[in-house]
Amino acid sequence: MRIFMTGASGWIGSAVVPELIDAGHQVVGLARSDASAAALTAARAEVVRGTVDDLGVLREAAAASDGVIHLAFKHDIAFTGDFRGAAEADRRAVDAFGDALAGTDRPLVVASGTGGVTPGRVATERDMPTLDGSPISLRAATARAVLALAPRGVRSSVVRLSPTCHGEGDQGFMATLVAIARAKGVSGYLGDGANRWPAVHRLDAARLFRQAVEKAPAGSVLHGVAEEGVAIRDIAEVIGRHLDVPVTSVAPQAAAEHFTWLSAFLGHDSPASSSLTRELLDWQPTQPGLLEDLDKGHYFDAPATTG
């Protein structure tokens, strides 16, 4: 298959590209910078220059492909105060892909998240988050729009990723927690720290995207979840041990000052299951779990940015 990808040089995408190519597929990646283009070329992918705002480029590239994997999201503006703007741009891109692929029965695989689907209980692929008009729910609405493309002749699927896709080189939530603990001199968690986050290794997530574009039925919701829920306190304890700093609870009223932008997410209790995904696609995670990965030490090799 000739597969067009957005976000192909990003954290997850840079693992998906070799996963696809090694399986015999051709990859065409969207690149918004010279550095991204060079990375894609080095990874044996073709390059299309543009951004997710270039809807004409997206339609043309999708129409010329055998399938699309959409991983790009404007995290740079989402995590600096404009999540709504990032979500709205994401919806426009998905609509463009839908228009290009309608009536072709070609696959469209779009990344989303498990966070907030069913707070406080284990979310399954059958659960749908409440749409309340908030910026966060805008992304959930986009996921529903992807699934609604199935009756239009698109083999659409949504991969809800765990909030942390960990692995060597990660600069996301885990790296940020490490950086905060290093800067503050304590490894913190909110409240009693019993709230849980699902987790998946980026290489397992990459394999799921390949399997989704190859064979996920139209209208599928898939969960990129290797571990249903890892307690934030357990994460803090591993970080504290590696940095040799105390592990302590942070009061809710001090969360924003201590954890900065991460405070909006850290208190969520959002466990999730992937049982249906594993059964549907025979997807079996094989990489280390989150705590084991943290214990390997690579998150602590050099100071990471707090964003």
Identify the DSSP state of 267.
T
Write the DSSP symbol of residue 123.
B
Model pLDDT for residues 121-135, shown as the tens digit of each residue: 999 999 998 888 776
**What is the pTM for the complete model shown?**
0.93
Reported as type and span, the H/E element at residue 248 is strand 247-250
Q: What is the pLDDT of residues 71-115, one digit of tens each?
A: 998 877 776 778 888 889 999 999 999 999 999 999 999 999 998
The helix-helix angle for 83-101 and 135-147 (nearest 10°) equals: 10
Cα separation, 61 vs 303, in Å, equals: 39
Measured distance CA(228)–CA(259) in Å, rounded: 24
Q: Give me the sign of the Cα torsion angle 21, 220, 156, 119.
A: negative
Count of residues in the chain: 307
Q: Is the pLDDT of residue 305 over 70?
A: no
Q: Which residue in this structure is represented by tokens 């306190």? A: 233
Segment 271-300 mean pLDDT: 97
Report the sign of the C-alpha dihedral through residues 98, 100, 102, 106, in that order.
negative
Instruction: Please give the mean pLDDT across all residues of the chain.
Output: 93
**Helix or strand holding residue 156 (H, E):** strand 155-161
CA distance 303 to 285: 29
pLDDT in tens, 197-230: 999 999 999 999 999 999 999 999 999 999 999 9
Phi–psi pair at 131, nearest 5 degrees: -100, 105
Instruction: Please give the Cα distance from 33 to 88 (Å, whole number).
Output: 22
